[in-house]
Structure 1
Amino acid sequence: MTEARPGDAEASRGQSQVGDTVKDSKDSNPAPEPAVATPTVVVAGGGTAGHIEPAMALADAVLRLRPGARVVALGTERGLENQLVPARGYPLELVPPVPMPRKPTVDLLRLPGKVLNSVRRTREVLDRVGADVVVGFGGYVSLPAYLAARGRVPIVVHEANLHAGLANKVGARFAAKVVAAAAGTALPGAEVVGIPLRQSITKLDRAALRAEARRHFGLDPDAPTVLVFGGSQGARSINTAVSQAAGRFAEAGVSVLHAHGPKNTLVVQEFPGRPPYVPVPYLERMDLAYAAADLVVCRSGAMTVAEVSAVGLPAVFVPLPHGNGEQALNAGPAVEAAAALLVPDEELTSDKVAELVVPLVTDPERLSRMSAAAVGLGHREADEVLAGMVLDQAERRGR
């Protein structure tokens, strides 16, 4: 490791003096070994919760395995990391993002200059914090992190999707280690470890927390309950279809917890005497949301699929209709295992919700079978497995 932490020099000098004294007095006890400097791990995964949450789960695991380690997150001034990272207690360093234009525009001509500026600023951060290893999870902040670390600091790339993004494709070319959430990624030499998840998710006992969770959200304590969300920003198609089926849920005695997104509004008709339909902008406590639910209707981002499978929650996945089809691929293993159903976004209507979701959430035997199938999916120890790899790369650098 190239940079001593505060106190390292004093500790080193103290041990040297003790060793000299021991030698002079011809004491039979050997001199203590020099203290090993604690590593600094820099995680780059800003932009969306799908990039940030695995980075934070890894950070937690690093500190469990090496309590004296330091973890610093990279982000941009507009990313969701500005809320999520400080809330988890980790320092956040902001660098200029490098968004890639999707079409040939004047922005493409400005790209080299933006990349060079962002790499320079990121390199300054890596030098200042004394980075021993950089771990990237894709997204705008990962590309400058990879380029800044190249040839200076070991790089570990984590790819959550089968179709890797540009940043991870670049980073994988000179990474010391490339890992993936599932088999089949196109990144060469990728080792499958799963997606790092918080222990509040991997160790969640849904049944034990159910009563507390339903009280927390103001849900009916006994009614079948559907959890609905569309990612950190919500999903308009899911919001519209599910909320318009509120009457059908009420008639069937079903309660709904619906996270519609902080920038969206959701007005739902109340049905006195029926289980409540509870709309919320955002779910701060996903563990309690999962514990409260019997079924989830949601997008199928890689992080979401991993969490839903880990807690054994039956799902109706509605893949994002844009992009390269990666969300449908993410849902594939759960659907094949009969742990989930898949509904294309264009087919999701209030009638579809009434015909599919209402009968499913009121069928406890089928839900039980789906839940058992979900538990067998995923990699619950991915956070500590990846943390071990990251710490190993940091230690190799220090040798």
Structure 2
Amino acid sequence: MRLAGKKIILGVCGSIAAYKAALIVRGLIKAGAEVRVLMTPSATNFIAPLTLATLSRADVVTSVHSGESWNNHVELGLWADAYLIAPATATTLAKLAHGICDSALVAVYLSARCPVFFAPAMDLDMWQHPTTVENVRRLQSFGNRLIDVGEGELASGLVGAGRLAEPEQILDTLAAFFAQAHDLKDRRILLTAGPTLEDLDPVRFLGNRSTGRMGIALAEAAAARGAKVTLLLGPTHLSTQAAGIETIAVRSALDMYHAAVERWPDCTDGILCAAVADYRPERVAEEKIKKQAGPMRIDLVRNPDIAEELGRTKTAGQYLIGFALETENGLENARDKLLRKQLDLIVLNSPRTAGAAFGHATNQIQLIDRNKVTSFELKPKLAVAHDILDRLVADKPTL
């Protein structure tokens, strides 16, 4: 199992499913992991801290302040390779989603730099309530990973969704994550993200609504999986400090084109996520353009096509992914772009889909190659990024 030697924090909340925490701890220890357990005060009503301390072979933390000692939540958050919260109650989900720091469990969450997994457990109506749905979405938008609830008979006697995932499934999810963590090792990925701005004069420009969020999510996901990433990032308020990412700021489509062409020969893979302007003003005025009577005319010239150039020059060992944002005839236009620009895969999305594309923390995509179309539901952009990278690994498992 891929958990040997891993440092895992287990956060336990006040749910009837808390008894399964003993099985989770035992499974982690058996797999060779080192475990520290945090409990909310209400969790101690369902399972004794002594039980989990005995199984984990370490003291259980139930408070930031215990007697005359202080449990260093920052130090613990830095110690772990992963933080698992199971079971996660509706109350704790709300606190995590909004930073309400009233327990050691939440304090460590806010300090943790490791991946965070949460496995909810609650009654059917609580799980389906819009408040819970929004809190789960919000947590996922922060990059936290949901281990989805199971279905069956619940403590209330109702039958439906809300059961804590089985301990074996939870352990398998963690093991799969650590197995995935190095599947892009030795890859050098060129990634474009964000908008480009095409200057009209010293104060005005032509642009688009891209924030770069999808591309940054891809860069961070790829780096987390072991890749060295060169991120060509257009003007945006977003940024990333993740290790393994070299960020190169660009402004215009020409800037991005030249940077991409220069770096492409040294890369194994390319993911072209940026919303690059197709046209730029033929002439950039040296002074601010003054308002005049009547209509204004701006002559535009076509920008060079980054995807087309990289597709034309890619070698047999390189894999190239493009994006297609379409408002109509999406599949037809995406397939045409895939073939015309010699891409290996294209990601189709639409601004007409609620919660997708520009300005959202979520996206809904289809992956299209020469043989098939794979569709996905609406997901947080980090989860979408991993879906795309999973396909890259499946199509090109080794260099």
TM-score by length of 1: 0.31
TM-score by length of 2: 0.31
Structure number with the higher helix fraction is 1
Structure number with the higher strand fraction is 2
